[in-house]
Amino acid sequence: MTDNVYGKILKVNENRRLIAIDTGKKLSYFYMSKGMFRQFMDYFHKNMYVFLKVKQETRIYKNYLVQNVVSIDKVLSPRGNKPKVFYDISMIKTEIKKLVNQERYRLFIDFEMSMPPYRNYQNFISEIIQVGLVLTDSSGEEIKRYQSYIKPELFPKLSKRTLKFLDISQGQVDQGDNYNNLHGLLSEMNDDFQPIAYVWGKNDKSELSKLNKIHKLDNFIHDMQFVDLLSLHKTYFRLKNDLGLFNAYNMYAKEDLDHQKHDALEDAVVTKDVFYWFKDACNHKIKVNI
């Protein structure tokens, strides 16, 4: 069970990750996890106001009677009739809702990358070796799917680690497309549709940027809007840890998807499904239990 608490900060104990708040009745102490305290510590000053969700139970911690903080909802500094808001989860959720409701084409992308060998990997550079993508229109109708292996050029022979992890053969990748054609495809789709590109995590975008520079190609990603769907989930649901893509799918579908095969197109399709469920959650069409 949780309570909502708000009040003025009167004391801060950085070493013990405690803040003391005047709740209007008494001075109360609240304990935070290391990650939460680090995220908000720049705002923890005397006379700042915080709005917290805390566990109802109290406990003794380092001779203090404390309650654990579940989440921080708002941080502000009083300034007469116009307080300065430094953080407000309700406003952030509103902006996320606006983003996912934009009437735009959406491109769901996933890559599988080569992996370093078990030994002598000091000079290794990962490369995209498989791509999967799904393009939808503004109403969510799917209009294009694409998948292909991509032949690596810097390290053409894949490591045993890569082959085992992805359960593929060297021959499959050797018969794949080249990176220049993948670059051309994505550039053309960006020119034709101006989609929002949704990815799960930061790796896919950074790999594209890295390979564009290595191959001395136009870095079209500066003109394409990339959105990390994992980051949106962490922010919207205020998750402490990263959420796996297939765990997110299972959370919405309320059933276990078959074991992940590390297939780029399958992951792109799952990313699409998770996005539209997330959009429904933001619009309060479905309820999600985290």
What are 32-56's pLDDT values in tens digits?
999 899 999 999 999 899 999 999 9
What are 188-214's pLDDT values in tens digits?
999 999 999 999 999 999 999 999 999
* Length in residues, the chain: 290
**CB-based contacts of 230, cutoff 8 Å, min separation 6:** 200, 201, 242, 243, 245, 248
Q: What angle do CA 13, 16, 18 make, to 5 degrees?
A: 55
Distance CA 63, CA 78 (A): 31
Distance CA 88, CA 235 (A): 12
Q: Structural domains in the chain?
A: 2-88 (2.40.50.140), 101-282 (3.30.420.10)
Distance CA 31, CA 235 (A): 21
Q: What is the pLDDT of residue 261?
A: 74
Instruction: Say if residue 25's pLDDT is above 80.
Output: no
Asked if residue 243 lies in contact with residue 234, where contact means CB atoms within 8 angstroms, the answer is: yes
**CB-based contacts of 179, cutoff 8 Å, min separation 6:** 127, 128, 150, 151, 153, 211, 215
What are 252-265's pLDDT values in tens digits?
998 776 666 789 99
What are 111-121's pLDDT values in tens digits?
999 999 988 88
Asked if residue 166 lies in contact with residue 140, where contact means CB atoms within 8 angstroms, the answer is: no
Distance CA 50, CA 29 (A): 13
In the chain, % of residues over pLDDT 90 = 86
Q: If you average pLDDT over every residue of the chain, what do you get? A: 94
Asked if residue 72 lies in contact with residue 87, where contact means CB atoms within 8 angstroms, the answer is: yes
Q: What is the pLDDT of residue 192?
A: 96
